[in-house]
Amino acid sequence: MTERQLSIILAVVYEYIKTGEPAGSRTINKKYIKGLSPATIRNEMADLEELGYFYQPHTSSGRLPTAKAYRVYVDSVTSRARNHLSITHEAEAWRKEIIGRRSGIEELLNYVTHLLSRLTNCVAVAAVSELDDAAIWHIDLIPLGGANVLALIVLKGGLVHHSQFSLPCEADANLLEELSRRINTIACGRPWSEIHDALYSYVLNGLENAENACHAAIGELDKFLSEKNYRFFSSGTLNILNLPHFQALSRLQAVLTLLEQEKPLARMIEKCRQDKDLKVAFGGEITNSEGMEDNAMILIPAQLRQQKAVLGLIGPMRMDYERSISVLESVASALNEDNN
């Protein structure tokens, strides 16, 4: 790709983001690239269309960018130095609110997703990292009747998870209380990944008569806490109803399905968490579901009170990436500052 072609791609994407209209060669010449004639720009746009960067909704119209062109544009945005949001009174207020907030993680992430959605008019998502990396505050095993047990797992920071399972025998309340006490003796303040191997020998000492029940209970906890589990938060589905892009029902349903099923979202979040870098995905890179082909998602890792988290935005492919990325980076920075 030549520098001239790159400039035209960036101009067409920027123009479409700002106006929502196809960009013609005269518009690009007048507003962005004055050193080239409209005829030269038109020829280059035709070549770029053949290469898959543009398409024409009608024969006589200007060009619209494809996902391939958006990738070039986003790579340009993310490769150059960016300023965070200018410190307006509003921005400074929410930055201080995040840093000074003494609520639990769940309340904080609810606040953050509402804030991100309000600032960008996109659907905001947040996820707290896999459970075996998080420090455990307390575990309670509660009998539900018969062999059924409810496990309440409270992580440091106040986030609560729960799991229901069945024992190979009737769940005895006294046994579960003692088992909970022994598990908490070892687990409190430490991640599950550090202590699960030591639990069996410690817990079973003196409880050999209930060995099967203890093994089953710890096995179920291990299964739940060792999986790639995330606690999801989202906000802003009502906001996107006002966007022309989501007047098409299939696009709206695709986003709602993504939030409900969570598995495709979890895969993207896991990749972002592992790579420890901002990620932008378009259409089929998120999920192959019908209706998602014209949507985009931005994810960024964050540190949330000693727990790994990921923040994200889901919106139309024609979103304002520069602002959206700046907002995400600013909020993630405030969360990281909150850890200090």
When pLDDT is cut at 50, 70 and 90, the band that residue 339 belongs to is low
Whether 288 has a pLDDT exceeding 80, the answer reads: no
User: What is the per-residue pLDDT for 83?
Assistant: 53
When pLDDT is cut at 50, 70 and 90, the band that residue 180 belongs to is very high
User: What is the per-residue pLDDT for 132?
Assistant: 59
User: What is the per-residue pLDDT for 84?
Assistant: 52
Q: Comparing 207 with 294, which gets the higher pLDDT?
A: 294
Q: Comparing 267 with 29, which gets the higher pLDDT?
A: 29
pLDDT tens column, 326-335: 889 889 888 8
When pLDDT is cut at 50, 70 and 90, the band that residue 58 belongs to is confident
Share of residues in the chain with pLDDT > 70 (%):
92
Q: Find the mean pLDDT for residues 209-218.
A: 84
pLDDT tens column, 312-325: 999 999 999 998 99
User: What is the per-residue pLDDT for 89?
Assistant: 63
User: What is the per-residue pLDDT for 246?
Assistant: 81
pLDDT tens column, 221-260: 888 887 667 788 999 888 787 777 887 778 888 888 888 8
User: What is the per-residue pLDDT for 77?
Assistant: 86
What is the sign of the dihedral through the CA atoms of 294, 300, 304 and 308? Answer: positive
Whether 52 has a pLDDT exceeding 90, the answer reads: yes
Domains and CATH numbers, the chain: 3-79 (1.10.10.10), 89-129+230-338 (3.30.450.40), 135-226 (3.30.390.60)
Whether 188 has a pLDDT exceeding 60, the answer reads: yes
Q: How far is CA 100 from CA 93, 96, 106, 116, 308, in A?
A: 10, 6, 15, 18, 19
